[in-house]
Chains A and B, each alone.
Chain A
Amino acid sequence: MMVAESLASNNKVLKIRNLSTHYFSRRGVLKAVDRVSMDLRKQEFIGIVGESGCGKSTLAFSIMRLIQPPGKIVEGEILFNGKDLLKLKDEEMRRVRGKEIGMVFQDPMTSLDPLEKIGDQIVETIQMHEDVDKKEALEKAMKLLESVGLPGDRVNYYPHQLSGGQRQRVMIALAIALNPTLLIADEPTTALDVIVQEKIMEILEKMKREGRSIILITHDFSLAAEKSDRILIMYAGWIVEMGDSMKLVAEPLHPYTKGLIESVPDIWLARKIKTMPGFPPDLINPPPGCKFHPRCPKAKEICKREEPPLIEVNGRLVKCWLYE
């Protein structure tokens, strides 16, 4: 009930309800995304944070409907600008990809076709969605490259002639070529050094100022805290906490969030870093009750038996028995 109320608000670009995506392997069913609900406002920048393997990419690919077998979206709704993406025909969904939702991938070294010039890849993308001639599309491609901080003449380059950071700029140019309302960046800077990372983040923030909504997926908590309006914490396929970035950092509710914050290195306070004990669970045979309880310092008896509800606390949502 409370979930529904707190999420109900206008101006939503994206509304995800009860989304589950599973991978079907010989060992069993892996619930990579497990009944996730979230929403995203116009011009909002949200960060999705979680350890490796908690289902962040699966969530992103589910929104794009790019889940490949053995994976499958098994239930839920993805309402994007009012239409349920999961109900669209394949061709309708193709027109949404690139045109209305852009996506930037983790590894810029492998995300561009090595045999095609940068310009040709951008032109092809533009011409897939808009009826423009090649010359016009090429001019647009040069402007796009300039808007992400690359000289326009890079249209004539092949991917292998660019550095990782330059390629990631190209990936962003490709993702925004058709001015999508939503941009999903899945760990866009993991493969890049810190200075380049900052540049890429500046571009994302500029995209936001220009009116787009941004989903930044990262396992870097401090990066998300610094850049995003809201943070969404994922653990083992669940969203365990979600709320305003400032508040979430100042006063984390979920024990997992606290653990994440304490494990962030802090050069000013020179505080001792506490690494969280244990490992994320095997998602094929997750622990009963709360999936976090084996690692939780505050685990109670009920945590071992029953799945916690998502509870609203001070305008934030947390999936934990402590707040019941």
Chain B
Amino acid sequence: MASLKAYIATRALLVIPTVIILLTLVFFILRILPGDPIASMVGQKVPPEVLERLREEAGLNKPIYIQYFEYLFNIIHGNFGRSMIWGKRPVIAEIMDRFPATLELTIFGFILSVLIGVFTGSIAAFKRNSKLDASMRIYSIIAYSLFIPWFGMVLQMIFGVYLKILPIAGRITPGVEPERITTLYVLDSILTLNFQALSSSLIHLFLPSLTLGIVLSGAYTRLVRNNLIDILSQDFITAYRARGVKDRKIALHAMKNAFIPVITLMGLQFAILLAGAVLTETTFSWPGMGTFLLERIQYRDYNSVQGAIVFYALFVALISLIVDVIYALIDPRVRY
């Protein structure tokens, strides 16, 4: 266990330089892009001296390197600053409004992708070299190469426009939002036993998370299939059979073993998942971090964009740490 703790500590420490490098890149790229938050907010018709004054107030006239180090200093002290447009709300508050929506979408998409991937991959492995195996291979290739906005739109057309059974945009029917506790609508509606909000948020979640889930499941299908075939040919599986253990139980043991590399992929996929979430959010007008980020990049809201990126990076790091811990919990060889 001691080595696991040391490992986690090292991983956590490595996050710091990663975040700083990422932040530095974003900081300078934003400033190289034409335009600035003041111009995009007040428009072109304001007299130049007013623009100049507003820039002065926002600290944008200081030399870039001073701005950079000031920002870094603030971030290290946990101060994300304020949005640079309109309400000038604290960036943290803005993120906290949007992040739960993304988290909810990501979690559901993630769970769906793993479930679909493990299911299709296991079928392919247990029925290896059959027609079913071939269909699963085709499924994984198609799923893997689907373009999210296009696939999302196809689902919207089928379920929203043609069958008219599922909503195609938003998180919940306006007016039925549950009492705010965590801002995760599904969780909040369960906590407050608000079933109307629960069903509304679940049906809104369905298409976006299915889109994400299917696209990301392709990689799992392949990985689970290949691992499981490898595991099924190992001696300990034959040994189980030689002891008269039932096939169904052996299948479960095999799947548990085959799941270990899947966990590693889960950690890697999570970063991709967030990128996928940005596309999914714009396709389904989902009020999460993805739409937030795109909107604020357009307005050159430096502080919001930088804050969102730092937040994303920390979140991804946290998830991959959690994945490592799950890994250790399943595999005793890592644990001891």
Contacts and interface: CB of A to CB of B under 8 A. Distances in A.
Interface of A: 64, 66, 94-99, 102-103, 105, 107, 110-116, 124-125, 128-129, 158, 160-161, 171, 174-175, 177
Interface in B189-246: 234-236, 238-246
12 contacts: A66-B241, A94-B246, A97-B242, A99-B244, A103-B243, A105-B239, A110-B236, A111-B238, A125-B243, A128-B244, A158-B332, A171-B239
Contact of B253 (A94, A105, A111, A116): A116
B257 interface: yes
A66 B240 CA distance: 11
A113 B236 contact: yes
B244 A112 contact: no
Contacts of A95: 244
**Which of B235, B244, B333 has the most chain A CB atoms inside 10 A of its CB?**
B244
Contact of A114 (B238, B244, B245, B257): B257
A128 B238 CA distance: 16
Contacts of B243: 97-98, 102-103, 125, 128, 174-175, 177
B322 interface: no
Contacts of A107: 235
Nearest to B233: A68
A67 to B, nearest CB: 11
Nearest to A126: B243
B142 interface: no
Contact of A124 (B238, B249, B330): B249
A66 B241 CA distance: 8
Contacts of B253: 113, 115-116
Given A110-B235, A110-B236, A161-B336, A115 B331 contact: yes
A160 B333 contact: yes
Given A107-B235, A128-B246, A115 B241 contact: no
Contacts of A111: 235-236, 238-239
Contact of B257 (A113, A128, A175): A113
Given A110-B234, A115-B331, A158-B333, A103 B245 contact: no
Nearest to B236: A113
A160 B332 contact: yes
**Which of B242, B331, B333 has the most chain A CB atoms inside 10 A of its CB?**
B242
Contacts of A160: 332-333, 336
Contacts of A174: 239, 243
Consensus secondary structure, chain B interface: helix
B256 interface: yes
Given A114-B333, A115-B330, A66 B242 contact: yes
A114 B249 contact: no
Contacts of A103: 239, 242-243
A129 B246 CA distance: 10
Given A107-B235, A124-B245, A128-B245, A113 B336 contact: no
A161 B332 CA distance: 10
Interface in B242-270: 242-246, 249, 253, 256-257
Nearest to A91: B246
Contacts of A110: 234-236
Counting from the closest, the 7 A-B pairs by CB-CB distance are: A98-B244, A98-B243, A97-B244, A158-B332, A110-B235, A103-B242, A111-B239
B238 A105 contact: yes
Interface in B297-336: 330-333, 336
A98 B236 contact: no
Nearest to B335: A158
A94 B243 CA distance: 8
Given A111-B236, A161-B336, 13 more contacts: A66-B241, A99-B244, A103-B242, A103-B243, A110-B236, A112-B239, A113-B236, A114-B236, A114-B333, A115-B330, A125-B245, A128-B245, A128-B249
